[in-house]
């Protein structure tokens, strides 16, 4: 049984920093953070991929521990390629309920222990 309380809240990024893979290829932008209501820590980053002028974008939650921030270039670097991201949990229009079941599904896809967000 999953926890009926939604443990995460979505916080939209004030600016949408770029996200690249380790080879420097553009992946998308960081659109939002999924923040644990109790700890106040960002557990997941929501990456926005694709689209044109805000249309046709898809959103992919990624455990925050899989991102590194490059302060010199002001970009996030993700240790995944675009194909891996596109195969993961996502949504296009309406975000899902960020309940314990969804958290476990995302963590499982990225090979993390149930409920873990560390990379």
- Note whether residue 116 is domain-resident: no
Which residue is associated with the tokens 């960002």?
42
Q: How many Å apart are CA 97 and CA 21, to the nearest integer? A: 28
Q: Are strands 58-63 and 26-36 parallel, antiparallel or unpaired?
A: unpaired
- Residues 54-74 have pLDDT tens digits of 566 899 999 999 999 999 999
Domain of 31, in residue numbers:
8-109
- Note whether residue 67 is domain-resident: yes
Indicate the pTM of the whole model. Answer: 0.83
CATH number at residue 61: 2.30.30.240
- Note whether residue 2 is domain-resident: no
- Note whether residue 51 is domain-resident: yes
At residue 114's C-alpha, the angle toward residues 111 and 116, to 5°, is 80
Percent of the chain at pLDDT exceeding 70: 85
- Note whether residue 49 is domain-resident: yes
CB of 38 closer than 8 Å to CB of 6: no
- Note whether residue 92 is domain-resident: yes
Domain count, the chain: 1
């Amino acid at each position: 049984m999953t926890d009926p309380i939604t443990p995460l809240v979505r916080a939209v990024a004030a600016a949408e920093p770029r996200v690249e893979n380790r080879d420097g290829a553009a992946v998308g932008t960081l659109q939002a953070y999924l923040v644990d209501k109790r700890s106040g820590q960002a557990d997941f980053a929501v990456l926005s991929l694709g689209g044109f002028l805000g249309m046709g974008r898809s959103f992919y939650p990624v455990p925050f521990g899989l991102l590194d921030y490059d302060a010199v270039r002001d970009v996030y670097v993700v240790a995944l390629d675009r194909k891996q991201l596109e195969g993961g949990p996502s949504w296009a229009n309406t975000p899902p309920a960020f309940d314990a079941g969804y958290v476990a599904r995302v963590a499982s896809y990225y090979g993390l222990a149930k409920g873990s967000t560390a990379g």
